[in-house]
Amino acid sequence: MGCGRRAWMLKLLLLVVVALAAVEYLFGLRTYLGTPAFNITQSTIETDVRKSQPWFNLPLFIQNTLSQNSTQSMTGQNGTEYVRTPHLLNKIMESLRNLVSEDTTQVNEQSMPVCDEVPPDLGPVTANKTEMELDWVEKKYPEVDSGGFYSPPNCTARHKVAIIVPFRDRHQHLAIFLNHMHPFLMKQQIEYGIFIVEQNDTSAFNRAKLMNIGFVESQKKKPGGWQCFIFHDIDLLPLDSRNLYSCPEQPRHMSASIDKLKFTLPYDGIFGGVSAMTLEQFTKVNGFSNRYWGWGGEDDDMFHRMKKMHYHITRYNMSIAVYTMLDHEESAPNPKRFKLLLETSKTLEKDGLSTLKYDLVHVEQHHLYTHVLANIDERS
């Protein structure tokens, strides 16, 4: 009993010591941050920071740090240059600042409220798969900006999403796809752009390389960049708008439940059809492999890349991740795909975005999509 009490007292003492150390640290911090070297005057904070940042009620010394870079040189009161060295605290402050700035860019851009996390009136939708003219579709969606760009008019979107569609010889599908996707995406209140990436040479179709090209070219088309990328086959149309076209914390396989595949998942690691990755995820895995010519394998290769970088695939409920597939002829499978797959984990760094080569023919803005046309050479 007495022994238990002593242990308890010791713990309490330890706690007090830790608390004192923390207080002292914070106090030291305040003087450290308060040195004149930073030269942020009270008025700067009031006129610039307070107005534009929603965190003005944070303690002053945190504001000072938030509004400065963590490592940079600065001119002090007497004209001397000070270089602040990186420091655990700076790292923490940096992440805090990133968190804050994510919110503030949305607030600062427009004074509109942020869109609801789950937009209203989502649910099952139908697809019109009859052949149609692009002109006819274009007239239906005047609210879409040239290039196939859209952002919700009455609220600030939570997600900035580039839809990347590898393309060749499927002109009959283009109008059907755009006619379905625009209203579907608008309803989800996201900011998006549709990029049709076409292979303009006679080599075998290289879906993965086209998606890498789409990633690179779409990023050039957006000041500030897209944060989320959805790689989308043109023959798949989503049938439930609760299937949100956004990027969660882990890569998401979206087209889990396809009518032609009897609404069942063929195997656990499948990542083809429609899939979503964040900017960070996609760059960390070095994008797709550039080496898959002909049908198949490139999505399984991506699965291996993700596994190597410790990502895992997420999916919506099968009743939400529903798609219908448009009719077309089957493509010839790539006989080399199994051999290539065995090499992925060894070649990840040497094959992908870092080694992407192509000749850009053009990037054209049509009303409902941006057309990226490129030559990719099988020999390179």
Ligand X SMILES: *[C@@H]1O[C@H](CO)[C@@H](O)[C@H](O)[C@H]1NC(C)=O
Cα 321 to the center of its chain, rounded Å? 19
The only residue of 42, 154, 264, 380 in contact with ligand X, by rule CB under 6 A: 154
* Element housing 283 (H / E): helix 279-284
Tokens of 246: 């956004």
The only residue of 105, 110, 128, 354 in contact with ligand X, by rule CB under 6 A: 128
Q: Which is nearer to ligand X, 167 or 231 (CB)?
A: 167
Q: Which is nearer to ligand X, 146 or 317 (CB)?
A: 317
Q: Which is nearer to ligand X, 188 or 281 (CB)?
A: 188
The CA-based dihedral angle spanning residues 99, 101, 107, 109, taken in that order and rounded to the nearest 10 degrees: -140
Secondary structure (DSSP) of 235-282 = TEEE-BTTS--S--SS-EE---EEGGGTT--S-TT---SEEEEEHHHH
Rule CB under 6 A: say whether 76 interacts with ligand X.
yes
The phi and psi torsions of 189 (rounded to 5 degrees) equal 55, 45
Q: What's the first-to-final CA gap in the chain, in angstroms?
A: 77
Tokens of 333: 């499978």
Rule CB under 6 A: say whether 153 interacts with ligand X.
yes
Rule CB under 6 A: say whether 319 interacts with ligand X.
yes
Task: Choose the binding region for ligand X from 128-136, 279-287, 294-302, 322-330 (rule: CB under 6 A).
Answer: 128-136
- Residue number with the smallest Cβ distance to ligand X: 132
Secondary structure (DSSP) of 322-341 = EEEE---PPPPB-TTHHHHH
Q: CB of residue 128 vs ligand X: minimum separation in angstroms?
A: 4
Q: CB neighbours of 350 closer than 8 A, spacing ≥ 6?
A: none
Q: CB of residue 169 vs ligand X: minimum separation in angstroms?
A: 8
The only residue of 130, 310, 330, 380 in contact with ligand X, by rule CB under 6 A: 130
Rule CB under 6 A: say whether 111 interacts with ligand X.
no
The only residue of 31, 42, 80, 85 in contact with ligand X, by rule CB under 6 A: 80
The only residue of 200, 203, 219, 355 in contact with ligand X, by rule CB under 6 A: 200
Say if strands 370-375 and 322-325 run parallel, antiparallel, or are unpaired: unpaired
Q: Which is nearer to ligand X, 4 or 79 (CB)?
A: 79
Q: CB of residue 346 vs ligand X: minimum separation in angstroms?
A: 33
* Element housing 88 (H / E): helix 88-109
Cα distance between residue 323 and residue 240, in whole Å: 8
Q: Which is nearer to ligand X, 230 or 322 (CB)?
A: 322
* Size of interface with ligand X, in residues (CB under 6 A): 24
Rule CB under 6 A: say whether 98 interacts with ligand X.
no
Q: CA gyration radius for the chain? A: 26
The only residue of 45, 125, 132, 216 in contact with ligand X, by rule CB under 6 A: 132
Q: Which is nearer to ligand X, 69 or 146 (CB)?
A: 69
Residue 372 and residue 363 in contact, taking contact as beta carbons nearer than 8 Å: yes
Write each residue from 36 to 75 as x if it is in contact with ligand X (CB under 6 A), else as -, in one continuous string.
x--x-x--x------------------------x--x--x
Cα distance between residue 332 and residue 339, in whole Å: 17
Task: Choose the binding region for ligand X from 22-30, 53-61, 194-202, 303-311 (rule: CB under 6 A).
Answer: 194-202
Q: Which is nearer to ligand X, 39 or 347 (CB)?
A: 39
Listed in order, strand segments (DSSP E) in the chain are 73-75, 81-83, 149-150, 160-167, 191-199, 228-232, 236-238, 252-253, 257-258, 274-278, 322-325, 359-365, 370-375
Residues at the site binding ligand X, with contacts judged by CB under 6 A:
36, 39, 41, 44, 69, 72, 75-78, 80, 128, 130-132, 153-154, 200-202, 317, 319, 361, 373
